[in-house]
Every structure is written in C-alpha cells, then in structure tokens.
C-alpha cells in the first residue's frame, strides 16, 4: 500500500488531500481484509473486493454507511491499488477490475443569482477595518476568477499581475493556470493591499510569514477554514441561507453566469482548470434549466 501511495504522490502528482483520502480508504480496506482472514494481495478474490463495497454501503458499529460518492472514491482507490500491484508484478491478476463503483446520483451545481452574489460581497465588505477589506477582496477573487478555495488562500502576492489583470492559480495536482481578473476584483484586491494587508502583516511577529496574499488577524496565511467562516458570516449578514452557501457556490455561480452570458464551454473549462470538458458540461444543464424556466414563464404558448 505504501508503494502505491508513493507512486500517486511522486509520479501522478496527486494533491495531498487526495492522498490522505486514499490512505484512509485503503487502511479501511486492509482492516476489512484482515477481519476476513486475508493476509496478502495474492489471497484477495473478486468477492472480497465486492464484499468490501457492500460493507461500505451497509456501515458497521464503527462506521456509518457511506454515500454512493464516498463509496465510489474508496472503490477507485482499491481498484488503483490492484492495478498497480498487477503492473508491478506483485500479483498475476487484477481481481478488482470487474468491480464497478456505485454511480452517485447526479447533482447539479448550485449557483446563486448575480444579485445574491453582490449582496454577499457587499455584506463581507461591510465589516469595519482591515478585515472587511480583506473579506471583500477574497470573495471578489473567488467569484471573479472561479478559483477553488484552496487556490485562493494559496495565492501569493506575486501571483497577481495587476498590469495584465490576471492571476496565476495552483490547481489540483500542482497544475498551474493563468486566469483574468475582473475590474471589481482587481480594485478590491488593490484596496486590500494598500489599506489592509500591511496592518494585518504588522500583527505577525517579525512581519509577514511568507508572501501569502490573504492574511489572517495574526499576520499568517489565511486558512481554508477561516475562509469558510468569512463566507458563512457574510451569507448570514446578506440574509442568505448560510447552510447552502459555500466557496464552491461562488465557483459554480462564476461558471453558470459565464455560460448564461454566452461563453463557450471550453473557455469555461480552461478558466475552471478542469482536465476534461465533460466535468464542465454539467454547468450547461443548469443553464438549460434556466432557459426552460424563462421560456415557460415568458412565451405566450408555453403555458399549459
């Protein structure tokens, strides 16, 4: 198992969070096999792999039943392990090849209207002092670039090119992309850099620890958890349901609003950093639903 995880880390370049998830899934797989009396990869049969999948969906005294999405991720990790063992000559057969992950129910991305995005950003910036300027800049960047929350909090000051109105984002697997930054986000970031970041940096001992763009109240890099809290607080102030608003909500809204405005799906794919256009095409379903709604309420012969 260690060799497989090293392979994913070094040769495949998977993100640390993904590796951690795979490690948890494979540890649970190893525990399941040990309880069944299986001692090595060469003793595993296809029925053991399918039995593990069934156990994930059932749950037990120590684990709640997993959703189709979580169970599918675990099975993908297991299938990858067996494939790696086959290619490395450890086993003669890939016993997991025919075990298919459960198909998750298709969930459309949740986007919020432009008016709600504006209310959210306005509420974030209503906080007095440096933190309000930082919070507004953070939300403007999330919505203005479609960045993932990890990409936004991982930004360095030098990643922002104000002359070219663009920013360099480090995506999944260390893949970088350069995306444009809109005028609203650019102004918000410039205000934050001039009027807020120096004050936040001064709170840290010895000045700024690293070149992170977004800093916390102690002068260190803003964490993902803190960014979530900022968004949740802004949603409550804006009168939005904070339970349904997340950093990914702004990413979904970014993509949906671009497509609503006529952007090509492949352009949106590049902006989001999706490896496959298939991932991006789910947003077109949201747009079609919106078009259908407008048609049904606007066309004189659409009503039944």
The active-site residue out of 23, 131, 172, 290 is 172
- φ, ψ (nearest 5 deg) of residue 165: 50, 55
Q: Is 148 a catalytic residue?
A: yes
Distance CA 131, CA 192 (A): 9
Q: Is 143 a catalytic residue?
A: no
The active-site residue out of 162, 248, 266, 292 is 248
Q: Is 283 a catalytic residue?
A: yes
The dihedral built from the CA positions of residue 230, 233, 239 and 245, taken in this order, carries a sign that is positive
The active-site residue out of 73, 134, 136, 274 is 274
What is the per-residue DSSP string for 173-231? GG-EEEEE--HHHHHHHHHHHHHTHHHHHHTSTTS-SS-BSSB-TTSSBPPHHHHHHHH
The active-site residue out of 148, 197, 252, 257 is 148
Q: Which two tokens stand for residue 77?
A: 């990790």
Distance CA 279, CA 281 (A): 6
Q: Report yes or no: 240 and 249 within 8 Å, Cβ to Cβ.
A: no
The dihedral built from the CA positions of residue 281, 243, 181 and 119, taken in this order, carries a sign that is positive
161-167, Cβ contacts within 8 angstroms, sequence gap of 24 or more:
162/186, 162/190, 167/141
Q: Report yes or no: 140 and 188 within 8 Å, Cβ to Cβ.
A: yes
Q: Is 274 a catalytic residue?
A: yes
| Start-to-end Cα distance in the chain | 60
Distance CA 276, CA 266 (A): 9
Active site residues: 148, 172, 248, 251, 274, 283
């Amino acid at each position: 198992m260690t060799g497989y995880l090293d392979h994913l880390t070094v040769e495949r370049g998977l993100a640390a969070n993904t590796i951690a998830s795979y490690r948890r899934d494979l540890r649970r797989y190893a525990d399941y096999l040990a309880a069944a009396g299986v001692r090595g990869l060469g003793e595993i049969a296809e029925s053991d792999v399918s039995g593990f999948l069934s156990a994930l969906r059932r749950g037990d005294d120590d684990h709640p039943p997993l959703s189709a999405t979580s169970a599918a991720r675990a099975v993908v990790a297991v299938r990858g392990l067996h494939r790696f063992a086959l290619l490395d000559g450890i086993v003669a057969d890939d016993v997991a090849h025919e075990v298919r992950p459960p198909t998750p129910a298709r969930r459309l991305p949740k986007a919020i209207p432009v008016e709600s995005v504006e209310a959210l950003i306005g509420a974030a910036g209503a906080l007095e002092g440096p933190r309000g300027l930082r919070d507004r800049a953070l939300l403007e960047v999330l919505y203005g670039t479609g960045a993932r929350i990890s990409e936004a909090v991982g930004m360095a000051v030098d990643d922002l090119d104000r002359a070219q109105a663009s920013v360099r984002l480090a995506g999944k697997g260390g893949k970088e992309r350069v995306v444009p930054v809109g005028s609203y986000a650019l102004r918000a970031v410039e205000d934050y850099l001039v009027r807020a970041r120096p004050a936040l940096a001064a709170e840290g001992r010895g000045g700024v620890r690293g070149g992170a763009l977004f800093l916390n109240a102690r002068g260190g890099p803003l964490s993902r958890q803190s960014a979530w809290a900022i968004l949740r607080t802004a949603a409550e102030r804006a009168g939005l349901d904070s339970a349904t608003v997340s950093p990914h909500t702004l990413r979904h809204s970014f993509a949906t609003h671009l497509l609503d405005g006529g952007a090509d799906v492949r352009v949106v794919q590049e902006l989001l950093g999706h490896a496959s256009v298939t991932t991006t095409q789910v947003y077109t379903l949201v747009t079609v639903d919106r078009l259908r709604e407008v048609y049904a309420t606007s066309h004189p012969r659409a009503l039944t």
